[in-house]
Amino acid sequence: MQRVREHRPQEFDRVLSSMCTEPHPRAHEAAVEFLATNPGDPATYQTVADLETEAIDQLGEIAGLDDPFGYVASGGTEANIQAVHAARNRAAGRGDTARSDTPNIVAPTSVHFSVTKAAEMLGVELRTVPVDDDHRADLDAVEAAVDDDTALVIGVAGSTEYGRVDPIPAMTDLARDAGARMHVDASWGGFILPFTDYEWSFADAPIDSMAIDPHKFGQAPVPAGGLLARERETVDALAVDTPYLETTSQATLTGTRSGAGVAGAVAAMDELWPAGYRQQYREQQANAEFLADELAARGIEVVDPTLPLVTASLSPATFEALRDEEWRIARTADGNLRIVCMPHVSRASLEAFLADLDRVRS
Ligand code: 0PR
């Protein structure tokens, strides 16, 4: 324990680059209580298995799906990998060998790198298509990329770098026309999009699966991701036999899983859906707009924050100087400063950041 005491966890007040946040206190308590449970063995750990069912029902409600299937994953990475996995297996099961031999998936360049991992592991070709001037998937490019071998089209609802929402209904139409399935990565955006006018959910389009992470805007402790599916067959396509367990099959990628993640997710959603999440979205969107305006007033080029994520051009020297001031900030692939207004990011913290920015630039 002494070694751990020497290392305190990162304080959140200067963390401006993370998509994780401080868990809600009730979620923290629930997670501690369920630390030693394993939803991977539901016949032994029945209480946490029941909680997982509640988590999926609650996630379904948030994502506009009445009768949801799915499970609490370790995060958006696992949910995305399993969505590709299920689509590949379902495509192979259609009995069309030409289709199953060389499956491909189509996604915008803005897609999270977890999809690259999925493609690599699962032996499917990843066709990335360009985004438009507003960093959203270009529909003409999606249409040109899909073909008879396309198993899955992926759209992002709240992209990692610019917080953009792809045109999900139109992408779903293109996927359907090609006989492919549609997955939406709402890992980050899923808990705030219900309070916006965006079309992103199961209620807006006949999408097949979704990644939606309680451990991001859901204010649940890590690890708690969500994989949702419209049809039981999607989860069944992932299942393998589990001969020596009391349950007969398992659809998750990991075996032993975190009961803390499941219980924490249920507790957070119990406390916050919908009023708490709505309030948090409004505050963080206002913070993002405040920050964007303040940066623009300083002559810095800013990308309009359509969700609570601000990107702006900043010289490498200024960026490094702010890192030296212990600000935990990050950059997009094309070098823009990227600040994610998660629930722990206060107005006071942004004001302190701006004061430091003015000091290091003068
Ligand atoms: N999909 C999207 C749209 C994401 O933004 C992310 C993570 C994932 C999937 C993968 O989720 P998991 O990391 O839960 O598997 N995006 C963040 C990123 O890459 C992850 C992150 C989180 C990075 C916290 C830093 C950090 O401190 O930027």
Per domain, the residue ranges of the chain are 2-16+276-361, 25-272
The best mutation among 12, 77, 183, 187 to test binding of ligand 1, ranked by most ligand atoms within 8 Å of the C-beta, falls on 187
**Sign of the alpha-carbon torsion through 344, 345, 346, 349:** positive
Task: Point out the least confidently predicted range of 135-139, 248-252, 354-358.
Answer: 248-252
CB of 60 closer than 8 Å to CB of 228: yes
SS3 of 41, please? Answer: coil
Protein residue closest via CA to atom 8 of ligand 1 = 76
Predicted local distance difference test score (pLDDT) of residue 99: 59
Predicted local distance difference test score (pLDDT) of residue 117: 98
**CB atoms near residue 132 (< 10 Å):** 15
Average pLDDT over residues 44-72: 98
CA of 188 to the centre of ligand 1 (A): 7
Q: What band does 225 get if pLDDT is binned at 50, 70 and 90?
A: very high
Task: Point out the least confidently predicted range of 159-173, 233-247, 286-300, 311-325.
Answer: 233-247
CA of 16 to the centre of ligand 1 (A): 14
The whole-model pTM stands at: 0.97
305 lines ligand 1 (CB under 6 A): no
Predicted local distance difference test score (pLDDT) of residue 100: 59
Average pLDDT over residues 233-258: 93
pLDDT 10s digits, 189-223: 999 999 999 999 999 999 999 999 999 999 999 99
- Give the neighbor-by-neighbor strand order of the sheet with 309-312: 302-303, 309-312, 337-340, 330-331
Checking DSSP bridges between strand 225-229 and strand 240-241, what pairing results, if any?
A: unpaired
Mean pLDDT score across all residues of the chain = 96
Predicted local distance difference test score (pLDDT) of residue 27: 98
* Two structure tokens written together for 117: 């991992």
CATH dotted code for 25-272: 3.40.640.10
CA of 284 to the centre of ligand 1 (A): 18
Architecture (CATH level 2) of domain 2-16+276-361: Alpha-Beta Complex (3.90)
Task: Point out the least confidently predicted range of 91-100, 150-159, 283-292.
Answer: 91-100
92 lines ligand 1 (CB under 6 A): no
pLDDT 10s digits, 65-116: 999 999 999 999 999 999 999 999 999 885 444 455 789 999 999 999 999 9
CA of 160 to the centre of ligand 1 (A): 7
Q: Compare 64 and 11 and report the one with higher pLDDT.
A: 64
Domains 2-16+276-361 and 25-272 agree in fold: no
Average pLDDT over residues 114-135: 98
SS3 of 63, please? Answer: coil
What angle do the packed helices 114-122 and 76-92 form, to 10 degrees? 40
